[in-house]
């Protein structure tokens, strides 16, 4: 790594320059050193720090929680357990999402297998699904009628 401009950083990490400036403005990025011409330059340390921020953002951590994490980092070793717990919480959220995604993938693959096996045939499936859709619509209307009566 070497000193990179904001344009080079933006391209390297596929992140908008305004986002980088925003991170600096709100304190997620420490003050970025500037060259004599006023341009920011990102040394190796700054690049590693930005990589950490981006990794956490890509994991789904909100800006607020990310800010809290950065404050905890800057507070030092007394916050080690709190930081670990924050990261564990995010891992748990991701595992839950991963499980939901896997269920969706399994369901879609089962449906695709029905098409491939010929169990779902042209027209038959359409009418069966249409009947199900009509039942759902009827149930929703009944619920609305009950709501309006009370």
- Phi first, then psi, for residue 37 (nearest 5°) are -85, 0
Total residue count of the chain as it appears in this document: 150
**pLDDT of the residue at 25:** 94
Domain-wise residue ranges, the chain: 6-88, 97-149
**pLDDT of the residue at 34:** 86
DSSP string, 56-108: HHHTT--HHHHHHHHHHHHH-GGGHHHHHHHHHHHHHHHHHHHHHHHHHHHHH
∠ Cα 94 95 97 (to 5°):
65
CATH architecture of 6-88: Orthogonal Bundle (1.10)
Of 11, 2, 13, 4, nearest to 39 (Cα)?
4
Map residue 27 onto helix, strand or coil: coil
Helix, strand, coil share (%) of the chain residues, nearest 5: 75, 5, 25
Task: Spell out the per-residue pLDDT of the chain, length 150, in tens.
Answer: 589 999 999 999 999 999 999 999 999 998 888 888 888 899 999 999 999 999 999 999 999 999 999 999 999 999 999 999 999 999 999 999 999 999 999 999 988 888 888 777 765 655 566 676 677 778 778 777 776 766
Cα(50)–Cα(129) distance, integer angstroms: 49
**pLDDT of the residue at 96:** 97
Cα(142)–Cα(133) distance, integer angstroms: 14
**pLDDT of the residue at 124:** 62
**pLDDT of the residue at 19:** 96
């Amino acid at each position: 790594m070497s000193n990179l401009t904001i344009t080079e950083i933006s391209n390297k990490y596929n992140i908008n320059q305004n986002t980088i400036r925003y991170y600096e403005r709100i304190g997620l990025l420490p003050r970025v050193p500037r060259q004599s011409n006023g341009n920011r330059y990102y040394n190796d340390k700054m690049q590693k720090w930005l990589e950490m921020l981006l990794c956490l953002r890509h994991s789904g951590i909100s800006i607020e929680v990310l800010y809290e994490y950065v404050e905890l980092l800057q507070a030092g070793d007394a916050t080690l357990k709190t930081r670990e717990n924050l990261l564990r919480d995010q891992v748990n959220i991701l595992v839950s999402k991963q499980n939901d995604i896997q269920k969706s993938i399994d369901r879609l693959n089962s449906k695709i297998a029905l098409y491939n096996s010929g169990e779902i045939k042209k027209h038959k499936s359409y009418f069966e699904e249409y009947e199900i859709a009509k039942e759902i619509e009827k149930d929703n209307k009944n619920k609305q009628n009950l709501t309006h009566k009370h």
